[in-house]
Chain A
C-alpha cells in the first residue's frame, strides 16, 4: 500500500544524517507568519511564550508592589487611595501566585523535561498550546479589570463573606474568580502533559531511578497540581455561584459557612506553595550537580524527600486557620505535620551542601543564586516552622511577619533558583552565554535589595503592624522600618531590571555557547545550542544516571523513526523499554479557537449563568474540529504485530 512505501523510504535508517536533518527541520519547525503563531504546537516555542508572558506579569505585579511600598513608606501617606491600594495588593498577590510563579515553573518544565528525557515534544502538543492560550486569556482578564478600575480587591485569598454578594457588589470578585478558572485549567493541562510525557516518552534505558532530579521534581509537582487545583476551582465556582445565582455555600444564614471557603482554599493554597517550590528544588539540584561537578549526594534520599513533601504538603492547610478557633486536638495534628515537612526540606539542603562540599566547585552566576537561595530560603523556612506553633502563630498571623516569611520562602525558594536556572539554561535556549560580570552585579543587587526590603518586615509584624493596611498612624513608630523597606524595594526593582537587561543584550551579543558550555551531565546538553527544533537527530538511549559524564563510547542511538511525520518513541513506565511508535498531533488552529470558545463561555458566565451553556456549545464544536479525522481509512481487520526490537550494529 502506498503509505507503507512512504514509510519505508522516509525512515531515518535509510537517510543520511544531512538529509535527515533537513527533513526533520522541515516538519518540526514552527509555522511562519502572523497566523502561523496561532498554529504552533511545539513545546519549546510554546514554553518560551509562557516564560515571557509570566515575566511580563511578574514585572507588572512588581510594579504594583513598588507603588504599594511608596504608599507605605511614610505614615498617613496619600499616594494611593484605599480602594486603589486594596486592588493593588489583591492583583499583586494573585498575579504573582497564579500568573507568574506556577506558570513559569511549569513552563521551564515543559521546555526542559522533553529534552532531559530524550524525546522531541510533549505527549499532547495541541493540548499544550490550548493551555497557554487559557493562561494568557485568564491573566488578561484580571488585568483588564484592574485597568478599568474594577480590579479584584479582596486579597489573593478572597475570604468570604467579604468577597460574597452582600459585601462585594459589582463584578470585581467575579473577574477574579473566573481568572482562577482559566489559570487552573492551564495548570492542570501542563501537569497532565508533564506526567504523561515523563511516564511514556523517556529514552530507552532511562528507568525511573535514572531520571534527572529536575524531572522527578516536575513529576511530583504535577501530581500535586492534579490534586490541589480542583479544590480552588471548586471554591471559586462556589463563590461565583453564590454571587451569580444565589447559592448559599458560604451564606451562614442558610446553613452555608464562611469557613468552608477557607478549608477549600487552603486545601489548595498550601500545596500551591510547594507546587511553586518543588520545581525550584529540582532546578537547584541540577545547578548544584553541574557546578559542584559531581553527581548529587543522596539521589534516592532527595527523590524520596520530593515525594514526601508532595504528600505532606496536603496535610498542613489548617495552619492558615489557627486564629479561627478550631478544636485544639485538630490543630495539634496540623502543628505536627507543619513541623514534619521541615525534615524532607532539610534532607535536600544537607544533600546539596554535601554535594558542594565534596565536589570541585566552579563559582558562576547560577551558583551565586543557589547560595542566595539557600540563605534566604532557610531563613524563611525557619520562620515558617516557628509559625507551626499555634500560640506563636496567633501573634504573627495576618501581620507583616507573615508577609516577610512568605516572601523569604517564595522569592528565596523559587525566584532565586529560577533566575539561577535561567542563567544556566540561557545558552541552551538561545545559543549564547549571559554576561557573567553583569550576572555578579545582578546577584548582589538582588540579594541586598531583597533583604533590605523584607527583613525589616519581621520586626514590623512583631511591633503590631497587620497586613493589608493602606496606611498607619505615625505614633505607631512603624515609619522608619517601612521607609527602609521601600528603599530596599527600589533596589530590588533595579535588580529585576538588571536581569532583563542582561537577558536582552546577551540574546543578541552574548558569547556563543557550544552544546555544553558547563560540561554538565543531563541529556539536554548533548544537543547543539540552541536546541534544534526536533531536539534530537536520533533519539538517545541511556544506561546510567549520569549519561554524559559516564557515557559509554558505543551507547546506542535510536533509529527507525520516520522523518516525514511527527513520530516519537513510546517506552514503558518503569524501565523505559521501547514499546511502540506514536504519531503526535501536528500544527492546528483548534487549540487557539477552543481556548477562545471556552474563554467566551467563562467570561460570559461572569454576567449570566447562560455563559456555561454558550461556552459548552462552542467548546463542543471546537473539540469536534480538533479531533476531526482526516487520515486514510484502514481495512476492517488489519492488525500490525511487532516483532521484538533488535539491536543492529
Chain B
C-alpha cells in the first residue's frame, strides 16, 4: 500500500488532487502543442524538390505581424496557465499548512545505515518507547515526526501519507503526517545512502485509537522474560554472544545502542528494515548470514550451533 495516487491522509490527498489538476491541464496543453506542430508541418509541406533551390524570402509585413500576434497570444495563454498552476500550488500549500496540529502524536525518527530508529518521547522516561523500522499511529490524529540522522542523509517517505523529508545529520527537521483510514502504509528511504539504500524500508501502521494505545502500552513494557528452557537458553545466547554488543532488549543485560532495539521484536511485521517478513525461517537466514541478504550492512555473520540458533529463535519469537 504505497502510492502517491492512493492517498490515505489529508496531506497526500491534497497533493494527489493537485496532481490531477496539473495532469489534465498540462495534458491538454501538450496535445494542443503537438497538434499545432503536426498541423503546421503537414499544412506547409513544400514540394519535395523545393530543397534544390534557395527560397525566395519575401516576407510580407502584414502576415508577419499576424504571426507575431499569434505567438504573443500563445505566450499569453502560457502565462495564464502558469498563473492558474501557481494559484493551485499556493492553495495546496495553504491547505497543508492549515492542517490541525492539536493533540499530535510526536515521534523522533533517526536515520542509520540502513535502518530507522523510532522513538516515542515522553516526559516520564519510563514511558518512552524505542523501536525500529515500524511506526504505529492512531487514525485521525496529526503526527509530528522529528527527523535527524546519525550518519549520512536519508529520506523519510511514505507515499500514501505525504511527501518526503530528508534526514540530514546536523540539520534536524520535522514533518506532519496523518492517516484517515486504518492500514499498513509502506515507506522507503528516498535519498541514496550507500550500498543498501534499496533495502531501507519502513512501515507505518495506522490503527484505531484504542489499538494504538494498546500497542503503545505494550511497547512500554520491558521485555517478556522467557518461560520455557529453550527460550531461556536463547536469552543466554543473546546476552553472552555478539548480539548484545549492538542490540538492546530492555529488561535484560543487552543494551547495545548502535543497532535496532529488539525489546518487542516479535511484534514487528518485517525484519532488516522491511527486507524480509518476520518469520522464523527468514529470521534464521538473517541471523546466520546477514551479509548474504543485505551485503555491506553492519551486522556480521554469526556461526551458531543449530541448537543455539533454535534457542535464539524461540527467545526472539517470544519478544512480543
Interface residues of A (CB under 8 A from B): 81-83, 86, 154-155, 159, 161-162, 166-167, 252-253, 257-259, 292-295, 297-298, 301, 323-325, 328, 335-336, 339-340, 342-343, 346-347, 349-351, 353-354, 356-364, 367, 371, 374-375, 378-379, 382, 385-386, 388-399, 461-464, 466-473, 476, 517-519, 546, 548-550
Contact A389:B92 (CB < 8 A) given known A161-B151, A350-B74, A362-B51:
yes
B55 near A294: Cβ-Cβ < 8 Å: yes
A346 near B86: Cβ-Cβ < 8 Å: no
A550 near B57: Cβ-Cβ < 8 Å: yes
10 A-B pairs, CB-CB below 8 angstroms?
A324-B171, A354-B40, A360-B45, A360-B46, A362-B48, A362-B50, A371-B37, A394-B15, A519-B53, A548-B54
Interchain CA distance A371-B296 in the complex, whole Å = 47
Give, as a whole number of angstroms, the nearest-CB distance from B169 to chain A.
6
Seed contacts A83-B195, A343-B82, A395-B159; 20 additional CB < 8 Å A-B pairs: A82-B195, A86-B195, A155-B192, A159-B191, A257-B170, A293-B50, A325-B165, A346-B78, A353-B36, A354-B40, A357-B36, A358-B67, A374-B37, A386-B22, A461-B4, A462-B4, A463-B2, A464-B3, A464-B157, A550-B57
Closest B residue to A344 by beta carbon equals B75
User: Which of B3, B44, B168 contacts A356 (CB under 8 A)?
Assistant: B44
Interchain CA distance A362-B42 in the complex, whole Å = 10
A469 near B46: Cβ-Cβ < 8 Å: no
A462 near B3: Cβ-Cβ < 8 Å: yes
Q: Which residues from chain B contact A351 at a C-beta distance below 8 Å?
A: 71
Q: Is B242 an interface residue (CB 8 A)?
A: no
Give, as a whole number of angstroms, the nearest-CB distance from B200 to chain A.
9
Give, as a whole number of angstroms, the nearest-CB distance from A558 to chain B.
23
A519 near B75: Cβ-Cβ < 8 Å: no
Of B26-34, B209-217, B221-229, B244-252, the segment with at least 4 beta carbons within 8 Å of chain A is: B26-34
Q: Which residues from chain B contact A353 at a C-beta distance below 8 Å?
A: 33, 36-37, 40
Closest B residue to A389 by beta carbon equals B89
Task: Give the B interface residue count (CB, 8 A).
Answer: 88
A297 near B68: Cβ-Cβ < 8 Å: yes
A354 near B189: Cβ-Cβ < 8 Å: no
Contact A464:B85 (CB < 8 A) given known A162-B194, A356-B40, A389-B92:
no
A394 near B51: Cβ-Cβ < 8 Å: no
A357 near B43: Cβ-Cβ < 8 Å: yes
A395 near B15: Cβ-Cβ < 8 Å: yes
Q: Which residues from chain A contact B38 at a C-beta distance below 8 Å?
A: 371
User: Which of A86, A346, A371, A393 contacts B74 (CB under 8 A)?
Assistant: A346
Interchain CA distance A602-B186 in the complex, whole Å = 46
- Give the contacts of B136-194 with A (CB-CB under 8 A): 147, 151-153, 155, 157, 159, 162-166, 168-171, 173-175, 186, 188-194
Give, as a whole number of angstroms, the nearest-CB distance from B145 to chain A.
11
Q: Which residues from chain A contact B2 at a C-beta distance below 8 Å?
A: 463-464, 476
Give, as a whole number of angstroms, the nearest-CB distance from B61 to chain A.
13
Give, as a whole number of angstroms, the nearest-CB distance from B213 to chain A.
29
User: Which of A258, A364, A386 contacts B170 (CB under 8 A)?
Assistant: A258
Q: Which residues from chain A contact B67 at a C-beta distance below 8 Å?
A: 297, 354, 357-358
Give, as a whole number of angstroms, the nearest-CB distance from A478 to chain B.
10
User: Which of A292, A336, A517 contacts B44 (CB under 8 A)?
Assistant: A292
Q: Which residues from chain A contact B68 at a C-beta distance below 8 Å?
A: 297-298
Q: Is B52 an interface residue (CB 8 A)?
A: yes
Q: Is B240 an interface residue (CB 8 A)?
A: no
Interchain CA distance A518-B173 in the complex, whole Å = 59
Give, as a whole number of angstroms, the nearest-CB distance from B118 to chain A.
19
B85 near A385: Cβ-Cβ < 8 Å: yes
User: Which of A161, A363, A374, A469 contacts B33 (CB under 8 A)?
Assistant: A374
Closest B residue to A253 by beta carbon equals B170
Interchain CA distance A375-B164 in the complex, whole Å = 31
Q: Which residues from chain B contact A476 at a C-beta distance below 8 Å?
A: 2
Q: Is B269 an interface residue (CB 8 A)?
A: no
Q: Is B93 an interface residue (CB 8 A)?
A: yes
Interchain CA distance A242-B193 in the complex, whole Å = 19
Interchain CA distance A298-B174 in the complex, whole Å = 49
Q: Which residues from chain B contact A473 at a C-beta distance below 8 Å?
A: 275
Q: Which residues from chain B contact A324 at a C-beta distance below 8 Å?
A: 166, 168, 171, 173
Give, as a whole number of angstroms, the nearest-CB distance from B11 to chain A.
8
Q: Is B236 an interface residue (CB 8 A)?
A: no
Contact A343:B170 (CB < 8 A) given known A167-B194, A382-B30, A464-B3:
no
User: Which of B48, B71, B193 contacts A354 (CB under 8 A)?
Assistant: B71
